[in-house]
Amino acid sequence: MIYVLAALLPPLGLLLNGQPFSVIFNLLLMVFCAVFGLIFHVLLLVPSAHAVIAVHMRRQDRRHREVVAAIRRHGPPAGYPR
């Protein structure tokens, strides 16, 4: 659901995902792309793509931290060379 929100309303999706600095960058990107998007229409998709990629990277980082924390708590998986 956060991906749909990030694609349709990029600053709001980033804000709800807990990325305030990305919101500021995305707003600047939206202004730049709105001006030059009148000539190069593909630029209108850049803020949405930025938001979706930023949300995905944040979620991957959270998953990575959870896996590392679980390995630290319980040790490496069985059969893992030490």
Q: What is the value of pTM for the model shown?
A: 0.84
Q: What is the pLDDT of residues 2-16, one digit of tens each?
A: 999 999 999 999 999
Name the residue with higher pLDDT: 12 or 77: 12
Residue-level pLDDT at 82: 67
Q: CA-CA distance, 44 to 65, in Å (whole number)?
A: 34
